[in-house]
Amino acid sequence: MNSFNPPIRTLMGPGPSDIHPRVLAAMSRPTIGHLDPEFIRMMDEIKVMLKYAFQTNNEMTMPVSAPGSAGMETCFVNLVEPGDKVVVCINGVFGGRMKENIERFGGTAVVVEDAWGSAVSVDKVEAALQANPDAKILAFVHAETSTGARSDAKTLCEIARKHNCLTIVDAVTSLAGVELRVDDWGIDAIYSGTQKCLSCVPGLSPVSFSERALEKVRNRKTKVPSWFMDLNLVMAYWGSGQKRAYHHTAPVNALYALHESLVMLMEEGLEASWARHAHNHQLLKAGIEGMGMSFVVNEADRLPQLNSVWIPEGVDDATVRSRLLNEYNLEIGAGLGALAGKVWRIGLMGQSSKPEKVLFCLAALKEVLKG
């Protein structure tokens, strides 16, 4: 066996995205203990910067020591108790995963379904909450990674609040890529991932919980069924002050990377990051439409950082992606579920959202499509 040396790729799929050398270099810094006073100081800085990224003052804002799927599970395992009725919106793969979590933790899922590629219907959600006045939670995906559709999180949260429901929001692909304002929109529990628009290494999941959400956690009738994800225990480690209780061995070097990526986000500015992603989408759009192809999602609901494009008739999905990877070291994503074999997912996230990368992707795709 020899040391593993990966090829150098341009990552323009649904994640992970390209990682800046500063973030990779941060990972190589000396490992220190996860209870070291200097490490605790860095943890506090990460919390401050994540609050900025989420636009929240929630004290319970931190990275879960596992990928976005664990962030999702952290939200549901803490907030859903056996017998709780939860209205869950499904307009792609990841809404379906929310439903799985609800049912696994003993909740009753009331499904609001929309076509893949569409935003969550505000009217359907209103109707579902009116029909289910005993619902405790509304769960939906802000940025559906399987299709590239963006839903109106602000309005959905307003409806939930009107019906006295908490909200759980999937922001895995939206954080730092499009407008997201946790406090202004009244989001109660939200989770994301580090490997998308933050352009950090995979394996961490930023989460944030409102005081309303924490009140539900504190007043549970049953124990949180996951020891590792129980917020009551985790916050003894991710709390405040120098004295922290041991909970688990944090991924020290991965957190160095997250710290650096958040420093870079603050240097650029959050709104500037949103604008950059929007600008580069327009560049991609011009090129894709210039080649006669079209997008799955209508423009008003489209994520700039995750673009689902219909595969031209007669073109083999796997062959094109294989040639892009092998001849150009360029990765784009395949379709999932109902869209498998029908669409490509082109990611313009974080460090992969640059004009030169968009132009490279378009040129490579054009050459491969020539045959």
Q: Which domains, from first to last, does the chain contain?
A: 10-15+270-369 (3.90.1150.10), 21-266 (3.40.640.10)
Are the C-beta atoms of 148 and 302 separated by less than 8 Å? yes
CA distance 77 to 288: 41
Does the predicted model carry a pTM greater than 0.85?
yes
What per-residue confidence (pLDDT) applies to 187?
99
Q: In this predicted structure, what is the pLDDT of residue 215?
A: 97
Q: Which residues pair with 112 in a beta bridge?
A: 89
Q: Is the peptide bond before 16 cis (omega within 30 degrees of 0)?
A: yes
pLDDT for 69 equals: 98
pLDDT at residue 239 in the model: 85
Local structure of residue 295 (DSSP, 8 states):
B
- Count CB neighbours of 367 within 10 A: 13
Query: How high is the pLDDT of residue 371?
Result: 79
CA distance 209 to 231: 10
What angle separates helix 68-79 from helix 211-218, to the nearest 10 degrees? 60
Q: What is the mean pLDDT for each group of 10 consecutive residues in the chain (371 residues)?
A: 98 98 98 96 98 98 98 98 98 98 98 98 98 98 98 98 98 98 99 98 98 97 97 90 89 98 98 98 98 98 98 98 98 96 98 98 98 79
H-only helix segments in the chain: 21-27, 37-54, 68-79, 93-104, 122-131, 153-162, 182-185, 211-218, 231-238, 252-268, 270-290, 317-328, 355-369
Question: What span, in angstroms and rounded, lies between the C-alpha atoms of 83 and 290?
Answer: 52
Radius of gyration for the alpha carbons in the chain, expressed in angstroms and rounded: 21
Lookup result for tokens 């559709």: 149
C-alpha distance from residue 126 to each of 130, 157, 166, 180, 299 (Å): 6, 11, 14, 22, 24
SS3 3: coil
> What was the pLDDT predicted at 227?
97
As given in the structure block, the two tokens for residue 80 are 């859903």
Q: Cβ distance 218 to 162 under 8 Å?
A: no
Q: Which residue in 266, 244, 207, 245 sits closest to 60, CA to CA?
A: 207
**Residue located via tokens 């803490």:** 78
pLDDT of residue 241: 77
Q: Return the sign of the alpha-carbon dihedral for residues 138, 143, 149, 155.
A: positive
Please tell me the distance from the alpha carbon of residue 14 to that of residue 145, in angstroms, as a whole number. Answer: 7
User: Over the stretch 212-222, which tens digit does the pLDDT of each residue have?
Assistant: 999 999 999 99
List all residues 6 or more positions away from 18 whose beta carbon is below 8 Å from its beta carbon. 10, 11, 199, 350, 351, 352, 357
